[in-house]
Amino acid sequence: MCGAVVVAWICIAGVVGRASVLVRRAHRRAAEQGNELELARNAWRHQSAETSRLVDVILPDVLAPVRNGTGVEEALSTVTLPSDPHLQRLLRVVATELATSVGRALEAESRLEHVRAQLERDTAELRRVAEETFPAAIALLREGSSADTVLARFDWPQNVLLRSSAERFVRELAYSERRSAAAQAASAKALSRVQAKTVSMLADLREMQERHGEEVFGDLLRLDHSTSQLGLMTDRLALLMGGRSSRVWNKPIVMESILRGAVGRIAAYRRVRLHSSSRAAISGFAAEGVMHLLAELMDNAANFSPPIDEVHVYVEERSAGLVVTIEDSGLKMSDAAMRRAVESVSGRVTDLASLQGTRLGLGVVGRLAVKYGISVSYRPSSRGGTGVVVLIPPQLVAQRLEPVPTERPRRAVPAPHAPAGPADEPRLTRREPAARTAPLPASPAPASSTSDVSAGHGGATANGLPVRAPGRAMAEAERTRRKPAAQTPADPPGSGPAFDAGSRFGAFHRGRRRAEGASADGNTHDVTPDAEG
């Protein structure tokens, strides 16, 4: 029993000893782990402090000089590096990448500045070429210069693309101008032949008016007037193509005949009323141009006014020259239409492409106005339509005589109608002018105007072909008309039924011949039929 107790106590003592040993070991391990934990905690605190200093101090101190172009090693040498090698390596990687990015950015900025400077130079050259070189080059090309001459005369852009584009443009424009000039020259040449044929037809018609009786006289006058309108159209196209008018006058033409000649060239001449007492005459070199200009303006006024309204033409003599006013009763022009008309008659519109196909007359007016220094302006008309004021400068006026007493405005002679059978001759009215006037132009209108035109020969071509001088056909017809004719006594005034056109214009024609016969004695008579019929 005692032995068992002793064994039990021995076992208990062994267990207690073993437990104490284990407890002491556990205490030692706990102490060691606490130390390790403290060491880890201290290391973590140190690492955190190093990281914070890296982020807050070292990186800004390194990146700032690197961003400004300082090398990486030089920038790192100015700061205290972290003790942790990993942080040191991280710092070097960041600094190197930043330096690389900064270098690339500086290179890109340099290239951008270079491109910007080049773009500014190209823009300046392009602006200079567009605003200075191209207008001057185009002007030279239109004057007939070649593309090589123009390219050698101006400084072109250094940029290869701009230079090649500019050269291509100049050469294409030169080619177009050559084609345009050739087309205009061919057109002007063809129109000159049409003009010559028209003048020849007018001469033949007037010669037939002398030879044939009154039964066909009205038809001949109607053909005469139609041919005159054709002449106006061909002259219009010739002037636009750079040609000249079909007629040339070598003597002054009185203003009254200028007006009648202009009226006789338009289709609606029966609606035009002339109010003129001027005795001034237009110099021969400008007479045809002034006549054509007034015809275009009268035709424009008649076309853009109601067909039942009249167009009134007034002539005044002023110190600044002759003032011709043309007024219609049509609708007032809109502001846009007025601006286009003013621009057209100013002569600034020289491009045929800018002219409307059905409104070429104002373009011709502009060219003639610039050629002769004539002023053309628009204003509202007191008759409700539009008024055109034409100022003919004094240098175009050949002479100024005393104005005649005020006379009743005359109507333009009505267009001949188809003959309706024999009838009495119309009464002729004779007016004695106050003084001798300049020769009257051979007008296509049914007016008693005559003119002397030089009949000189135009020489010959290189092949020996004869060349007819300008206006020679008309001169031949005028000389034929001026041959002495048998005097026909005037018939008594008729008060019977209406007479036909042939009788009416036959009487008018015989009266004119009597007037021409009387002019040989020193007086010029103007014989006109009663326009009221």
Convert the pLDDT of each residue in 210-266 to its tens digit: 776 666 666 766 777 677 777 777 777 777 766 677 677 888 999 999 999 899 888
pLDDT in tens, 359-391: 677 888 888 888 899 999 988 888 878 889 999
pLDDT band at 274 (very low <50, low <70, confident <90, very high): very high
* Angstrom distance (rounded) from CA 440 to CA 281: 10
Residue with more model confidence, 194 or 515: 194
pLDDT band at 187 (very low <50, low <70, confident <90, very high): low
Among left, alpha and beta (phi > 0; psi -120 to 50; other), residue 122 is alpha
3-state DSSP: the chain helix, strand, coil percent, rounded to 5?
55, 10, 35
| Among candidate residues 311, 335, 313, 310, the one with its CA nearest the CA of residue 322 | 313
pLDDT in tens, 280-305: 999 989 998 899 899 989 988 888 88
Strand 272-275 and strand 410-411: pairing?
antiparallel
Question: Is pLDDT of 115 > 80?
Answer: yes
pLDDT of residue 401: 46
Q: How far is CA 95 from CA 52, 53, 65, 85, 107, in A?
A: 17, 16, 10, 15, 18
> Is residue 345 a contact partner of residue 376, using CB atoms and an 8 Å limit?
yes
CATH architecture observed for domain 209-529: 2-Layer Sandwich (3.30)
Question: Is pLDDT of 329 > 90?
Answer: no
pLDDT of residue 316: 92
Q: Which DSSP string do the residues of 76-108 spell out, in sequence order?
A: HTTSPPPSSHHHHHHHHHHHHHHHHHHHHHHHH
* Angstrom distance (rounded) from CA 313 to CA 319: 20
Question: Is pLDDT of 528 > 50?
Answer: no
Q: Which residues of 452-491 are buried (b: 16+ CB within 10 A; e: fewer)?
A: bbeeeeeeeeeeeeeeeebbbbbbbbbeebbeeeeeeeee
pLDDT in tens, 62-80: 778 877 777 877 777 777 7
H-helix or E-strand spanning residue 254: strand 253-254
pLDDT in tens, 463-508: 344 444 444 444 444 444 444 433 333 333 333 333 344 444 444 4
pLDDT in tens, 413-470: 444 443 333 333 333 333 333 333 333 344 433 333 333 333 334 444 443 444 444 4
Instruction: Give the SS3 label for residue 412.
Output: coil
Quote the strand ranges of 309-353, DSSP E.
Answer: 311-318, 321-327
* Angstrom distance (rounded) from CA 480 to CA 191: 27
> Is residue 298 a contact partner of residue 325, using CB atoms and an 8 Å limit?
no
Q: For the chain, how big is the Rg over CA atoms in Å?
A: 52
- Report the percent of the chain where pLDDT is more than 90: 9
- Which residues share a beta bridge with 399? 281
pLDDT of residue 457: 40
Question: Is pLDDT of 104 > 50?
Answer: yes
pLDDT of residue 393: 93
- Range name among 113-122, 177-186, 396-405, 501-510 with the lowest pLDDT average: 501-510
* Angstrom distance (rounded) from CA 31 to CA 37: 10
> Is residue 286 a contact partner of residue 394, using CB atoms and an 8 Å limit?
no
pLDDT of residue 424: 35
> Is residue 438 a contact partner of residue 253, using CB atoms and an 8 Å limit?
yes
> What mean pLDDT value characterizes the chain?
71
Half-sphere exposure (Cβ direction) of 403: Cα atoms closer than 13 Å: 12
Report CA torsion sign: 331, 337, 339, 344.
negative
* Angstrom distance (rounded) from CA 272 to CA 312: 6
DSSP state of 532: T
The answer to whether the pTM exceeds 0.95 is no
- Report the percent of the chain where pLDDT is more than 70: 65
Compute φ and ψ for 385, nearest 5 degrees. -105, -130
> Is residue 444 a contact partner of residue 221, using CB atoms and an 8 Å limit?
no
